[in-house]
């Protein structure tokens, strides 16, 4: 008789509970992510459609134009009147009068901090700030820390297209905006701290600042590039235009924004603009594309530089800030943008636009 085979021990069946546990995990994680995403979307929608209201004494938003007004004296006055803090994030700084005013503020006990681009570090004004003990953080990336803003005493935001340079204030065409708002100042402070404290610039910067505010009756939206998808917001506003789109552009290479303007032209919107003549030879510049589509676009007349980055829609909405209409601005640089929904302010920009086109 042959040997009896030893019966193999039966394999234990894995607990079905464990299987159920894995299945539970598989669907709980996506559900949690979906809930978090839904909360984020709802919160952004709430910010946009029910912005926090703030009562402001005096005029909530002031606008100035170089070569037409004197924004330099306004900025210097705000620095000299600061009591607690001055936080500056500006691409180029070479004006010694402002550097002296910042040092004087530090010496009277004001917290003065500066963020600028590394390409600007050799300027006399920046070296003077460092020598006098003002902390200066530099962005060493290939792309630009291109912001143009300052926060004074957590109450005022200075922004627009103006670098703090002699050319920026006295020779180039620029606009400057002063916003009186603690809420908006807080948003800009958060962006400043990311750069100054954590050295986060451009694509590394998190999307964590509220967008939308109501200052008395003026709606203001604040965005930072690239994290807030600025071109998307600009395109949405152009797509909503009913009558007119006016723009002033130092650099305009964005295909996405150009296509939105062409769509506006095709539905009967009047599109007109001024572009910096030195950039018209750039093969990516949209000057010829827009002209061929029927836009009334002309080169600027300033023998120096037309440095504005402005779009005015339906004589009621103004888009301005440091943001050139370019791919680099949208995806790689560090930039700031403000959108102002106010007809009176829009009309001030249109008056300036006409002055740039005609010289009167």
Which residues partner with 54 through β-bridges? 215
Residue 309 annotated among the catalytic residues of the structure: yes
Residue 314 annotated among the catalytic residues of the structure: yes
* Whether pLDDT at 45 is above 70: no
Query: Quick check: is 205 in a domain?
Result: yes
Of the candidates 323, 336, 324, the residue with the CA atom closest to the CA atom of residue 88: 336
Confidence of residue 13 (pLDDT cuts 50, 70, 90): low
* Whether pLDDT at 43 is above 60: no
Residue 55: per-residue pLDDT: 78
Residue 307 annotated among the catalytic residues of the structure: yes
pTM of the model: 0.86
Confidence of residue 30 (pLDDT cuts 50, 70, 90): low
Residue 7: per-residue pLDDT: 52
Query: Quick check: is 49 in a domain?
Result: no
Mean pLDDT of the chain: 91
* Whether pLDDT at 277 is above 70: yes
* Whether pLDDT at 27 is above 50: yes
Instruction: Select which of 104, 153, 216, 314 is catalytic.
Output: 314
Instruction: Select which of 147, 307, 334, 342 is catalytic.
Output: 307
pLDDT in tens, 150-173: 999 999 999 999 999 999 999 999
Q: Which domain holds residue 179?
A: 55-358
| Residues 221-245, mean pLDDT to the nearest whole number | 98
Query: Quick check: is 39 in a domain?
Result: no
Residue 130, domain CATH: 3.30.870.10
Query: Quick check: is 30 in a domain?
Result: no
Residue 164: per-residue pLDDT: 98
| Residues 99-124, mean pLDDT to the nearest whole number | 97
* Whether pLDDT at 132 is above 60: yes
Query: Quick check: is 46 in a domain?
Result: no
| Residues 239-262, mean pLDDT to the nearest whole number | 98
| Strand pairing class (218-225; 335-341) | antiparallel
Confidence of residue 297 (pLDDT cuts 50, 70, 90): very high
| Residues 246-273, mean pLDDT to the nearest whole number | 98
* Whether pLDDT at 115 is above 60: yes
Number of structural domains in the chain = 1
Instruction: Select which of 246, 309, 330, 334 is catalytic.
Output: 309
User: What share of residues in the chain are helix, strand, coil (percent, to 5)?
Assistant: 40, 25, 35
Query: Quick check: is 202 in a domain?
Result: yes
Query: Quick check: is 11 in a domain?
Result: no
Residue 258: per-residue pLDDT: 98
* Whether pLDDT at 76 is above 60: yes
Helix crossing, 96-107 with 124-131: angle to 10°?
10
Cα(first)–Cα(last) distance of the chain, in Å? Answer: 119
For residue 98, give the H/E element and its range.
helix 96-107
Query: Quick check: is 119 in a domain?
Result: yes
* Whether pLDDT at 31 is above 80: no
* Whether pLDDT at 1 is above 50: no
């Amino acid at each position: 008789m042959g040997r009896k085979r030893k019966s193999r021990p039966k394999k234990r069946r894995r607990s079905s509970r464990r299987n159920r546990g894995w299945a539970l995990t598989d669907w709980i994680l996506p559900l949690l992510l979906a809930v978090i995403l839904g909360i984020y979307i709802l919160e952004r929608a709430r910010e946009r459609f029910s912005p926090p209201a703030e009562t402001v004494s005096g005029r909530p938003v002031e606008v100035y134009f170089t070569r037409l007004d004197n924004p330099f004296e306004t900025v210097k006055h705000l620095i000299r009147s600061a009591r607690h803090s001055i936080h500056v994030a500006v691409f180029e700084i070479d004006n010694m009068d402002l550097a002296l005013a910042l040092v004087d503020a530090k010496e009277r006990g004001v917290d003065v901090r500066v963020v600028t681009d590394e390409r600007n570090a050799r300027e006399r004004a920046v070296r003077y700030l460092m020598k006098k003990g003002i902390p200066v953080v530099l962005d060493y990336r290939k792309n630009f820390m291109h912001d143009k803003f300052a926060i004074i005493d957590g109450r005022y935001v200075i922004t627009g297209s103006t670098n703090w340079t002699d050319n920026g204030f006295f020779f180039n065409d620029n606009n400057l905006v002063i916003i009186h708002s603690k809420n908006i100042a807080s948003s800009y402070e958060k962006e400043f701290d990311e750069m100054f404290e954590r050295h986060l610039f451009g694509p590394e910067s998190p999307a964590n600042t509220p967008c939308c505010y109501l200052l008395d009756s003026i709606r203001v939206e604040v965005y930072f590039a690239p994290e807030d998808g600025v071109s998307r917001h600009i395109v949405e506003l152009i797509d909503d235009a009913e009558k007119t789109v006016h723009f002033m552009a130092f650099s305009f290479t964005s295909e996405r924004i150009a296509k939105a303007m062409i769509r506006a032209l095709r539905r009967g919107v009047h599109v007109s603009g001024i572009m910096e003549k030195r950039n018209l030879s750039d093969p990516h510049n949209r000057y010829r594309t827009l002209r061929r589509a029927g836009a009334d676009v002309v080169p600027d007349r300033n023998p120096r530089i037309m440095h504005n980055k402005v779009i005015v829609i339906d004589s009621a909405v103004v888009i301005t800030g440091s943001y050139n209409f370019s791919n680099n601005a949208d995806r790689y640089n560090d930039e700031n943008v403000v959108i102002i929904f106010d007809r009176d302010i829009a009309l001030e920009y249109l008056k300036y636009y006409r002055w740039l086109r005609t010289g009167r």
